[in-house]
Amino acid sequence: MALSAAVYAGVIGPSSELNPVRTHSPRNEDGVQQIIVKLRSPSVAAANVVARARLTMRQSRQIVDRMHVIQVEPAAANETVAATIDRLKNDPDVEYAVPDERRYIHAVPNDSLYATGGQWYLQGDPTTPAAVNAQAAWDITTGDPNLVIADLDTGVRFDHPDLLAAANNGRLLPGYDFIGNTTTANDGGGRDADASDPGDWVSSGDQSCDAQISSWHGTRVAGILGALTNNAHGVAGITWQSKILPVRVLGKCGGYDSDILAGMLWAAGQPVTGVPDNPNPARIINMSLGSKSACPSSYSDVIGQLTAMGVLVVVSAGNEGAAVDSPANCPGVAAIAGIRHAGTKVGFSSLGPEVTLSAPAGNCIGTGTGQPCVYSIQTTTNSGTTTPVANDDAYTGTTILAADQPKGPNLGTSFAAPIVAGIAGLMVSANRNLSSCQLISRLKEGAVPFPQASAGEAAQPPMCHPPASSDDLQSLECICTLDGKTCGAGMANALGAVKAALRPIAAVSITQGQTVTLSAQNSAAAAGHGISSYQWASTGKQAITLSNATSATATATAPSCGYGTVRVTVTDDAGLTDTADVVLSPTTATSTAPANASDKSCSLTAPDPVVAVCPGSASVVAGSGTQTFTASAANVTDDSVTWEVNGIAGGNTDVGTISSTGIYTAPAKVSADTQVEIDAVLNSDHTVVGKTKLSVTAAKGSGGGTLDPLSLVGFGLILAAARRTRGVRHVR
83 pLDDT above the threshold of 50 = yes
Taking a C-beta distance cutoff of 8 angstroms, is the pair 281, 269 a contact? yes
The answer, yes or no, to whether the previous bond of 615 is cis (omega within 30 of 0) is yes
Is there a shared CATH topology between the 103-502 domain and the 503-590 domain?
no
* Residue predicted with more confidence, 615 or 703: 615
Q: Is 518 helix (H, G, I), strand (E, B) or coil?
A: strand
Phi, psi for residue 499 in degrees, rounded to 5: -60, -40
What does the mean pLDDT of the chain come to? Answer: 89
pLDDT at 30: 52
Query: Which CA distances in Å does 87 have to 30, 357, 638?
Result: 20, 39, 47
How do beta strands 56-64 and 67-73 pair? antiparallel
pLDDT at 712: 39
625 pLDDT above the threshold of 80 = yes
Residue 92 CA to residue 426 CA, distance in Å, equals 46
390 pLDDT above the threshold of 90 = yes
What Rg value do the Cα atoms of the chain yield, rounded? 30
601 pLDDT above the threshold of 50 = yes
pLDDT (tens digit per residue) in 678-697:
999 999 999 999 999 999 99
pLDDT at 687: 96
pLDDT at 112: 27
Query: Which CA distances in Å does 171 have to 160, 562, 609?
Result: 11, 56, 46
Least confident piece of the model among 305-309, 559-563, 705-709: 705-709
Provide the pLDDT confidence category of residue 107 given band limits of 50, 70 and 90. Answer: very low
pLDDT at 31: 63
What percentage of the chain reaches a pLDDT higher than 70?
89
Q: Average pLDDT of 176-204?
A: 94
Provide the pLDDT confidence category of residue 368 given band limits of 50, 70 and 90. Answer: confident
Q: Average pLDDT of 457-474?
A: 93
Task: Name 489's Cβ contacts closer than 8 Å, sequence gap at least 6.
Answer: 356, 357, 443, 444, 447
701 pLDDT above the threshold of 90 = no
Q: Average pLDDT of 57-80?
A: 91
pLDDT at 111: 22
CATH code, 503-590 = 2.60.40.10
pLDDT at 18: 63
| Closest CA relative to residue 605, chosen from 580, 579, 635, 583 | 635
Q: 345's torsion region: left (phi>0), alpha (psi -120 to 50) or beta?
A: beta
Query: Which CA distances in Å does 477 have to 340, 343, 469, 480, 596?
Result: 8, 10, 19, 9, 45
704 pLDDT above the threshold of 70 = no
Q: Average pLDDT of 625-640?
A: 95
pLDDT (tens digit per residue) in 526-560:
999 999 999 999 998 899 999 999 999 999 999 99
pLDDT at 1: 28
7 pLDDT above the threshold of 60 = no
Q: 281's torsion region: left (phi>0), alpha (psi -120 to 50) or beta?
A: beta
Tell me how far apart the terminal alpha carbons of the chain are, to the nearest angstrom. 48
Domain spans of the chain? Answer: 3-102, 103-502, 503-590, 610-731
Please, what CATH class does the domain formed by 3-102 belong to? Answer: alpha beta
pLDDT at 540: 83
What percentage of the chain reaches a pLDDT higher than 90?
77
pLDDT at 557: 96
Q: Average pLDDT of 59-84?
A: 91
pLDDT at 706: 41
Most confident of 73-77, 210-214, 371-375, 433-437: 433-437
| Closest CA relative to residue 157, chosen from 386, 406, 388, 377 | 388
Taking a C-beta distance cutoff of 8 angstroms, is the pair 178, 247 a contact? yes
Residue 57 CA to residue 72 CA, distance in Å, equals 5
Q: Average pLDDT of 281-310?
A: 96
467 pLDDT above the threshold of 60 = yes
pLDDT at 501: 98
321 pLDDT above the threshold of 70 = yes
Residue 199 CA to residue 384 CA, distance in Å, equals 8
Provide the pLDDT confidence category of residue 109 given band limits of 50, 70 and 90. Answer: very low
Phi, psi for residue 599 in degrees, rounded to 5: -65, 130
Taking a C-beta distance cutoff of 8 angstroms, is the pair 392, 160 a contact? yes
pLDDT at 105: 80
pLDDT at 698: 92
DSSP label of 491: B
How do beta strands 3-12 and 18-27 pair? antiparallel
Residue 635 CA to residue 639 CA, distance in Å, equals 9
Phi, psi for residue 501 in degrees, rounded to 5: -65, -30
Consecutive H or E run containing 691: strand 688-697
11 pLDDT above the threshold of 80 = no
Residue 329 CA to residue 348 CA, distance in Å, equals 17
409 pLDDT above the threshold of 90 = no
Residue 326 CA to residue 699 CA, distance in Å, equals 66
pLDDT at 434: 97
265 pLDDT above the threshold of 50 = yes
Phi, psi for residue 657 in degrees, rounded to 5: -115, 155
pLDDT at 402: 65
Most confident of 222-226, 233-237, 712-716: 222-226
What global pTM score does this model have? 0.87
pLDDT (tens digit per residue) in 13-47:
444 566 656 555 444 445 689 999 999 999 999 99
Q: Is 637 helix (H, G, I), strand (E, B) or coil?
A: coil
Among the CATH numbers 2.70.98.70, 2.60.40.10, 3.20.20.140, 3.40.50.300, which is that of 610-731?
Answer: 2.60.40.10
- Residues β-bridged to residue 176: 247
459 pLDDT above the threshold of 80 = yes
Least confident piece of the model among 82-86, 317-321, 405-409, 588-592: 405-409
pLDDT at 151: 98
235 pLDDT above the threshold of 70 = yes
Residue 47 CA to residue 175 CA, distance in Å, equals 32
CATH code, 103-502 = 3.40.50.200
209 pLDDT above the threshold of 60 = yes
Strands (E) across 262-417 are located at 284-287, 289-290, 312-316, 334-339, 357-360, 363-365, 373-375, 380-381, 394-395
384 pLDDT above the threshold of 70 = yes
How do beta strands 656-658 and 663-665 pair? antiparallel
Cα 15 vs. chain centroid, distance in angstroms?
32
